Amino acid sequence: MINIYFAAKPASWAEYETPLRTALDEIGVAYTLSASCDVPEKIDYLIYAPGGPVSDFTPYTNAKAVLCLWAGVESIVENVTLKIPLTRMVDHGLTQGMIEWVTGHVLRHHLGMDQHILGQDGKWRLGAPPLATDRTVSILGLGALGTACAQTLAALNFKVQGWSRSKKQIDGVACFHGEAGLAQILSNTEIAVLLLPLTEATENLINATRLAQMPRGAVIINPGRGPLIDDATLLAALDRGQISHATLDVFRTEPLPADDPYWAHPQVTVTPHIASETRPITAARVIAENVQRDVMGEPLLHVVDRALGY
Ligand code: NDP
């Protein structure tokens, strides 16, 4: 019997219980699944999400893995009580949502939609928007989400560039990596999309130097994590016109406080960390597949590299 503890936010149990039971029933292992836990040493797998009841994993002495429902694991990756494998979420539904959010916001800036949506002032302004073939979009982070967004934008004929830690080859995407690659990619980026994890190496990556490396008037879209950006330098770059607009979904403090300067800045769009989210039905299948793999002695999918932090 496999005992699984749903240690995510109690409020999410209602939407996850049925999809998880359905997916676990399909893999055909005998299991118990509960959102409460009286005997931690009997637990085999913990399903985890930030804001849940577990921060000390020490009592779960027989647990084999912690299966995170989120793609971003910065809130757990440095937890010293966690000594067993940690997996993160790579979920078709989450990816699809991110593709749609990123594509929508890229198209808004590419087409200059605000001019017409917000400027209904009786003036007949001539001039069609440019074609995607003439627009360079750079995706920083070529993981599960970044690659999917890059491929979708490439399919729309954008000139797509991507940047990652290790070298990559993706059809239709000019791939760069490492420090030198970053300067190169930023130098001709008109729209930058940040889909990096938050780690020691990526915190404040978008700082004064990097913003200055971008062409004047570039746009930043950040659905990654707030601390990827040095906020004060971004605000200064927006004020100078070096950056023409920032669309931000994630912040150092969430919810973003009502008096944060981002809210009031005319060149900033704030969205409340809604770019995408894990979808219970597809995510439950990923969790069940990992339980099944582990039970069968096969390697877990989407294991976090604790040293790299993602
Ligand atoms: P992955 O782990 O699949 O991909 C991360 C990418 O970032 C990889 O390409 C990796 O490079 C690259 N990377 C990591 N560190 C560095 C570095 N120091 N320099 C250059 N590249 C680096 O993550 P996902 O694509 O699944 O998710 C990305 C992030 O999106 C999550 O961590 C989370 O923060 C955010 N997110 C936001 C959501 C929202 O609603 N706003 C929803 C879901 C996720 P390499 O390929 O070489 O390893």
92-270 has which CATH code? 3.40.50.720
Q: What pLDDT, on the 0 to 100 scale, is given for residue 129?
A: 95
Query: Which ligand 1 atom sits closest to the C-alpha of 145?
Result: 25
**pLDDT, average across residues 25-47:** 97
Mutate-to-test residue for ligand 1 from 96, 99, 164, highest number of ligand atoms within 8 A of CB: 164
Quote the percentage of the chain above a pLDDT of 90: 99
Q: How confident is the model at residue 119 (pLDDT cuts 50, 70, 90)?
A: confident
Q: What pLDDT, on the 0 to 100 scale, is given for residue 76?
A: 97
Q: What pLDDT, on the 0 to 100 scale, is given for residue 226?
A: 98
pLDDT digits (tens, 9 = 90+) for 271-289: 999 999 999 999 999 999 9
**pLDDT, average across residues 159-184:** 97
Told to judge if 306 belongs to the known catalytic residues of this protein, a careful annotator would answer: no
Ligand 1 within 6 A of 202 CB?
A: yes
Mutate-to-test residue for ligand 1 from 139, 273, 303, 310, highest number of ligand atoms within 8 A of CB: 310
Ligand 1 within 6 A of 144 CB?
A: yes
Q: How confident is the model at residue 12 (pLDDT cuts 50, 70, 90)?
A: very high
For residue 122, report the distance from its CA to the centre of ligand 1, in Å. Answer: 44
Ligand 1 within 6 A of 145 CB?
A: yes
For residue 198, report the distance from its CA to the centre of ligand 1, in Å. Answer: 8
pLDDT digits (tens, 9 = 90+) for 61-76: 999 999 999 999 999 9
pLDDT digits (tens, 9 = 90+) for 190-199: 999 999 999 9
Instruction: Give the residues across from 67 on adjacent strands.
Output: 47, 87
Told to judge if 225 belongs to the known catalytic residues of this protein, a careful annotator would answer: yes
CATH fold match for the domains 2-91+278-295 and 92-270: yes
Q: What pLDDT, on the 0 to 100 scale, is given for residue 146?
A: 98
Instruction: Copy the structure tokens of residue 220.
Output: 């930043």
- Indicate the average pLDDT of the chain: 97
The CATH fold of domain 2-91+278-295: Rossmann fold (3.40.50)
Q: How confident is the model at residue 56 (pLDDT cuts 50, 70, 90)?
A: very high
**pLDDT, average across residues 104-122:** 96
Buried b (16+ CB within 10 A) or exposed e, 192-220: bbbbbbbbeebbebbeeebbebbeeebbb
Domain-wise residue ranges, the chain = 2-91+278-295, 92-270
pLDDT digits (tens, 9 = 90+) for 139-149: 999 999 999 99
C-alpha distances in angstroms, 217 versus 2, 30, 144, 220?
A: 55, 58, 29, 10
Q: Which of 88, 105, 135, 225 is catalytic?
A: 225
